[in-house]
Amino acid sequence: MKKKKTSWYEEEFSIISKEIRKKNQLSYFDFLRIRNYKLNNVTKALEDEISKCTKEAFELVENGNIKGAVEKLITLSGVRIPIASAILAMRFPEKCAIIDRVVIEQLGKKEWLKRYLENTDIYIEYLELLKKKRPKNKSLREFELELWEKGRK
């Protein structure tokens, strides 16, 4: 009899369950892992793969290649441009910003909404537009956050 192939969802449940079964409480990491599991937002990327990939992406930004950094990060399981942009904005708030549909709408670029999740060129255009419109006393991240807050109201 052929063994049924287990889905990643079933496998992840089993792994998490085994890891926490004997614990009296959850760690922060356990909690986030269960939350992500329930939200169907789990990555299959291994820790060493994440370390290597983010190191290479950060080096690309330091060498002026933001597009290459985003392209590197989206090779990780579960990462698309919005997550990649958040990673880069946290590390390089003066050079990168988080791409978000609310901010895109605030910038008057609704035509980007259909393609911004996968199109790295849109992210680069997004950064250029933010640079052009931002006040000189704000980082890209600060300006992007200001637009996001304004759009959420």
Place of tokens 């291994």: 46
Kindly report the three-state secondary structure assignment for every residue of 88-149: HHHHCCCCCCCCCHHHHHHCCCHHHCCCCCCCHHHHHHHHHHHHHHCCCCCCHHHHHHHHHH
**Domains of the chain, residue spans:** 47-152
pLDDT number for residue 147: 96
pLDDT number for residue 41: 66
The tens-digit pLDDT sequence of the chain (153 residues) is 555 566 666 777 888 888 888 888 988 888 887 887 777 766 667 778 889 999 999 999 999 999 999 999 999 887 899 989 999 999 999 999 999 999 999 999 999 999 999 899 999 999 999 999 999 999 888 999 999 999 988
pLDDT number for residue 6: 60
Distance between first and last Cα of the chain? 59
Quick: pLDDT tens for 63-100: 999 999 999 999 988 789 998 999 999 999 999 999 99
pLDDT number for residue 3: 58
Element housing 49 (H / E): helix 47-62
pLDDT number for residue 10: 76
